[in-house]
Amino acid sequence: MFGNNYSMSNLQAVKAARVSFSPLRMALSVLAGATLVLMVAQAVSPTSAWPFTTAVDTVNQVVNTTLPVLRDKHTPLPQRRRQLRTLLEQHFDFADMARIALGYHWRELNPTQRSQFTQLFTAFIENAYLSKIQDYSGQDVAVLGQNSEGEGFARVRSQIIQQGKQPIKVDYLLRDMDGDWKIYDVTVDAISIVANYRNQFNRVINDKGFDKLMADMRAKQQQLQASMGS
């Protein structure tokens, strides 16, 4: 099953001898920490008005939009989660993340299965992150700039600055979708969330089938919803 510990300080997997989703625990840590960067970053470059012209503009806009929500301790937590869910859906390409996470197994699915998996994958990642937003503790982040990853693709580089500790390198991979830059992967210290999901999903599907993967994800999703009171 999926792990419940998403702490950035505990990006570790338990023994692989048993069929568990402990590697997903690592992936969820990556997402929670990396999405947190978007919320706490003190961007070094100025933001631009809509529409965005670069990938950095997108990251900076997300920062400026989400930071007040994260720091707002007066608005009830469920309401803040709803606000942040909307922002996640606007700026993350969850459909492409779902496709990449399944790897070659994606080609084996029919359209209905693809749709069902994408919806479940999106809800699971969103809830895994949103269940931890209260853990924000005032970290500082520097957005360092961007590099081209080919035509229509870019990598935005940043660092989480932690007092008394080494900074954590966080990169966002974005693609230009008709002028709208979308995040399709996040890496923390070179650990890719999509690659972590792909490795574990492949193992479960190969050993027990796609239906077992869906059942495990639904079970964890129900746990996450219950923990958030939804």
pLDDT band, very low/low/confident/very high, at 214 (cuts 50, 70, 90): very high
Work out how many domains the chain is built from and give that number. Answer: 1
In a domain, 184, yes or no: yes
- pLDDT for position 8: 35
In a domain, 108, yes or no: yes
In a domain, 11, yes or no: no
pLDDT band, very low/low/confident/very high, at 45 (cuts 50, 70, 90): very low
In a domain, 33, yes or no: yes
Q: Which residue has the tokens 């992150």?
A: 129
* 186-211 per-position pLDDT tens digit: 998 889 989 999 999 999 999 999 99
Cβ contact 23:150 at 8 Å: no
0.85 surpassed by pTM: no
Q: What is the mean pLDDT of residues 152-163?
A: 87
Of 157, 137, 130, the residue nearest 227 (C-alpha): 130
Of 117, 114, 98, the residue nearest 194 (C-alpha): 98
- Using CA atoms, how far apart are residues 128 and 126, in angstroms rounded to an integer? 6
In a domain, 30, yes or no: yes
- pLDDT for position 95: 95
- pLDDT for position 19: 33
> Looking at 3-12, 48-57, 114-123, 135-144, which range is the least confident one?
3-12
CATH number of the domain enclosing 31: 3.10.450.710
Neighbour-count burial for 51-71, b at 16+ CB within 10 Å, e otherwise? ebebbbbbbbbbbebbeebbe
- pLDDT for position 48: 39
Cβ contact 36:136 at 8 Å: yes
In a domain, 86, yes or no: yes
Query: Higher model confidence: residue 131 or residue 90?
Result: 90
Q: What is the mean pLDDT of residues 42-63?
A: 62
- pLDDT for position 61: 77
Range of the domain at 96: 22-227
Of 197, 95, 116, 183, the residue nearest 146 (C-alpha): 183
In a domain, 5, yes or no: no
In a domain, 6, yes or no: no
